[in-house]
Amino acid sequence: MLAQLGAAAQQAGRNPSDITLVAVSKRQSDEAIDAALDAGQRVFGENRVQEAFEHWGGRRAGIADLELRLIGPLQSNKAQDAVELFDVIETLDRDKLAIALRKAMTATGRTPRLLVQVNTGEEPQKAGIAPAELPGFLARMSGEHGLQIAGLMCIPPTAEPAGLHFALLARLARENGLEELSMGMSADFETAIALGASSVRIGTAFFGARD
């Protein structure tokens, strides 16, 4: 997988070291996760807080360079658990969650990097901030809530070309002075890299298809 990522980066005229491979370990077995760790993978994404604790609670202390990212929706009542476990939370999308995260950071002394999820397709069933609402939301994050935002993430609509949404996310990041762009998964990571992704979230293409 690293070779594929490197090839996509080189084709886009980018340095492969500027792109982080996030191995999506949700619903993976302990054996698969241990094999990934043995192969040197150190950045993992999880969708649910409880499953992440099951995967990483016993492993975390023994791996100094491990980075865990929450890439799924986060309920406000799970904010402290998320802050205690994750190094990056990619799915900030509402003020209520921002308040809970700020409180959890104060309580724990931990400050995970925060990304705002943008609903680039404005799909009613999907989480995320509408593009037009992003500047105001970012202003509230830094002003009212005292949170530093590192970047943006998106999950494009399945029925539309992903590149259109990646290009939109990249433009929104530039306009708002944000550097991190979490976009691209197994089926479209090459497009995401070409359009400026700083991290790609890879599950099937990394671990293989589950039975």
Tell me the domain boundaries of the chain.
2-206
pLDDT of residue 27: 92
Mean pLDDT, consecutive 10-residue stretches, the chain (211 aa), reads: 92 96 95 95 97 94 94 97 97 98 97 98 95 98 97 96 98 97 96 98 89 57
CATH of 2-206, one of 3.40.190.10, 3.40.50.720, 3.20.20.10, 1.10.3720.10: 3.20.20.10
CA distances from 151 to 90, 134, 138, 205 (A): 8, 12, 10, 24
Rounded distance between C-alpha atoms, residue 125 and residue 127, angstroms: 7
* Beta carbons of 68 and 22 less than 8 angstroms apart: no
pLDDT of residue 210: 67
Q: Residue 10 in 3-state DSSP?
A: helix
pLDDT of residue 176: 97
Cβ neighbors of 198 (< 8 A, separation 6 or more) are: 18, 19, 20, 151, 179, 180, 181, 182
